[in-house]
Amino acid sequence: MIKVIKAEDRYTAHHEWLTARFSFSFAEYYDPSNLNFGVHRVLNDDIIAPGTGFGMHPHRDMEIVTYVIEGALEHKDSMGNVGVVRAGEIQTMTAGTGVYHSEYNHSQDEEVHSLQLWFLPDQKGLTPGYAQKQFSKGDQRNALLKVVAPDGADGALPIHSDVTIYFSDLDAGQGVTHRQAAGRKMHLFMIAGELTLNGEQQMKTGDAARITDVEEISVRALESGAEFMLIDLV
């Protein structure tokens, strides 16, 4: 089964400093029928105004992945990590027994556009952890590049959840396929551009597909710069 959620059907929260589009029930948006997709609990598509952001706040027993699409996100946390996640970089954080962190737009002039994903961990009470990496755009071109995986397999960033995240950037007419074990799920999110999924579903920027009971998918770009994230999960 392939269920496509159109970009415009997501809940949108408008604040003076933030525009946030929620794929799952979050904050003031509560929908008991849309709490998660397998172990995937949060997918927030955030645009943060210059010089603003999320002040220091706590997390616990959650695996958090952040990807910066445009701009730069300034990060600080109670583990002592201080830095900037720039466009194209990915950050993972294990909240475990508890961690505080803040996220601010590093620029005083330009917006930052980022995705933040939360996943339920394999076990509670893990030691908090942090990692950050820039992946080559060239390695994503017309291919599926593994960027997050359990225990950091194959050079990916680590995550303590049965989740593997791939990124891809396709030229017009190019495609990729992904096959997974029976009983698993796939979640595909369009970062930019347009493509077709299994030759039937047409998807554009901000659209997502929740895929169950389908062991193989085929994705083909309708235009150059079709960028998407594919999550293989339980």
- Examine residue 185 and state whether it is found in any structural domain, yes or no: yes
Is it the case that residue 148 has pLDDT exceeding 90? yes
pLDDT at 81: 97
Q: For residue 135, how many C-alpha atoms fall within 13 Å in the half-sphere facing its CB?
A: 24
Q: Please tell me the pTM assigned to this model.
A: 0.97
Residues 117 and 19 in one domain: yes
pLDDT at 5: 98
**pLDDT, the chain, mean:** 97
pLDDT in tens, 170-200: 999 999 999 999 999 999 999 999 999 999 8
φ, ψ of residue 104 in degrees (nearest 5): -125, 150
Is residue 204 packed enough to be buried (19+ CB in 10 Å), middle (13-18) or exposed (0-12)?
middle
Residues 159 and 193 in one domain: yes
pLDDT in tens, 35-80: 999 999 999 999 999 999 999 999 999 999 999 999 999 999 999 9
Q: What's the CA gap between 78 and 60, in Å, rounded?
A: 12
**CB neighbourhood size of 122 (10 A):** 14
* Bridge partners (DSSP) listed for residue 5: 208
Residues 126 and 149 in one domain: no
- The total number of structural domains that make up the chain: 2
Q: What's the CA gap between 20 and 169, in Å, rounded?
A: 24
pLDDT at 151: 87
Tokens for 211, please give them.
Answer: 């895929």
pLDDT in tens, 157-175: 999 999 999 999 999 999 9
pLDDT in tens, 90-143: 999 999 999 999 999 999 999 999 999 999 999 999 999 999 999 999 999 999
State whether residue 124 is helix, strand or coil.
coil
Query: Of 79, 109, 134, which residue sits at a domain end?
Result: 134
Residues 78 and 146 in one domain: no
Q: For residue 118, how many C-alpha atoms fall within 13 Å in the half-sphere facing its CB?
A: 17
Residues 90 and 117 in one domain: yes
Range of the domain at 84: 10-134
